[in-house]
Amino acid sequence: MTNVQELVELIALKEITPTQFEGFSKSVGSPNVFGGQVLAQALNAATRTITNNRVLHSMHSYFLEAGNLELPIVYNVSIVRDGGSFSVRRVTAEQNGLTIFILSASFQMEEQGYSHQIEMNRSVKQPEELMSWTEILEQFGEVIPKKTKGFLEAERPFEFKPVELVNPFNKVDLPAFNNIWFKLKGDASHLDMALKQQILTYASDYNILAAVMNRHASKAHWGNTQTASLDHSMWYFRDIDFDDWLLYAIESPNASGARGFAQGNIFTRDGKLIASVAQEGLLRPK
């Protein structure tokens, strides 16, 4: 995938019945289905059953099995509740009859109320001052570790620009945070709110566990650590503008029991908080 249109085509599922949908997969450079893809497709399935114009405000999910890139994924939606203000959906994703993922999502009618948010770190470098993954690959491709290089070479509908550039050969522990700017490739002006939320969710599964790895960089790296997303939660606060760069500010409060926990906030360039993310992942030393 190289642009927003190809990503939308991946996320938009084929309807089998009004509550059952089918999707396919595209690799992001790893041997299994990308977690962000399953998250976005499951939200697409859930949203397709919402008929009262309610808007997604939160989701919580668990990754149960590694997805097979070659097999279709069937998404089954349960209509849990349609209340006076909120609607809840539960989605299970299956391959060959095996449940690989479950998600619960809540949708709310439009309402007005109190408003506040945390401040974005204004000291981070702007995207124009930073190198993209593409530029990093072009400049350092000959010395980048093989596994990382293969990941960076995969085509993506987003451009990523890390604020803190980590040298994999400098074996020192780093602060347990990372900031990364990202921007959708292509024209996003035609996207409705539901699709924008699904695309943002797709992007949210990138980079988040790197904050955990940073804290143990003197000994841990992607080549000697088994990693996998275990669960993923997300809260959606405000409208999303994909015409400019977005900042994903991530920190890791904890790692223990071969698991690492990270949480992130996604801001517009002018500091508007549009979403928050939390994920625990497997980080098992090989």
Residue 204, domain member (yes or no):
yes
Mean pLDDT along residues 22-40: 93
Q: Is the predicted pLDDT of residue 167 greater than 80, yes or no?
A: no
What is the maximum alpha-carbon separation in the chain?
Answer: 59
Which residues neighbour 280 within 8 Å (Cβ) at sequence distance 6 or greater? 230, 231, 259, 260, 261, 262
Taking the C-alpha atoms of residue 77 and residue 81, their distance in angstroms, rounded to an integer, is: 12
Using alpha carbons only, what angle is made at residue 132 by residues 38 and 142, rounded to the nearest 5 degrees? Answer: 100
Residue 119, domain member (yes or no):
no
Q: Is the predicted pLDDT of residue 98 greater than 80, yes or no?
A: yes
What is the DSSP code (8-state) at residue 120?
Answer: P
CATH of the domain at 247: 2.40.160.210
Q: Which pLDDT score, from 0 to 100, does residue 60 have? A: 98
- The first and second tokens of residue 223, run together, are 């080549």
Taking the C-alpha atoms of residue 271 and residue 281, their distance in angstroms, rounded to an integer, is: 28
Average pLDDT, the chain: 93
Q: In the chain, what percentage of residues exceed pLDDT 70?
A: 98
Q: Counting beta carbons within 10 angstroms of the beta carbon of residue 165, is it exposed (0 to 12), middle (13 to 18) or buried (19 or more)?
A: exposed
- Tell me which of 40-49, 70-79, 144-153, 179-188 is least confident: 144-153
By residue range, what is the domain housing residue 153?
4-110+127-285
Residue 181, domain member (yes or no):
yes
Residue with tokens 């596994």: 147
DSSP-based three-state secondary structure for 114: coil
Beta-carbon neighbour count of residue 283 at 10 Å? 22
Q: Is the predicted pLDDT of residue 168 greater than 80, yes or no?
A: no
**Which residues are catalytically annotated?**
205, 229, 279
Q: Is the predicted pLDDT of residue 203 greater than 80, yes or no?
A: yes
Q: Is the predicted pLDDT of residue 149 greater than 90, yes or no?
A: no
Taking the C-alpha atoms of residue 11 and residue 222, their distance in angstroms, rounded to an integer, is: 27
Q: Which pLDDT score, from 0 to 100, does residue 171 have? A: 86
Mean pLDDT along residues 161-183: 90
Q: In the chain, what percentage of residues exceed pLDDT 90?
A: 83
- At residue 53, what are phi and psi to the nearest 5 degrees? 65, 20
CB 204 within 8 A of CB 266: yes
Q: Which pLDDT score, from 0 to 100, does residue 29 have? A: 81
Residue 120, domain member (yes or no):
no
Residue 117, domain member (yes or no):
no
Residue 76, domain member (yes or no):
yes
User: Angle formed by the axes of helices 35-47 and 193-204, to 10°?
Assistant: 160
Q: What is the pLDDT of residues 231-275, one digit of tens each?
A: 999 999 999 999 999 999 999 999 999 999 999 999 999 999 999
Residue 121, domain member (yes or no):
no
Q: How many domains does the chain have?
A: 1
Q: Residue by residue, what is the 3-state secondary structure of 42-72?
A: HHHHHHCCCCCCCEEEEEEEEECCCCCCCCC
Q: Which pLDDT score, from 0 to 100, does residue 222 have? A: 82
Residue 90, domain member (yes or no):
yes
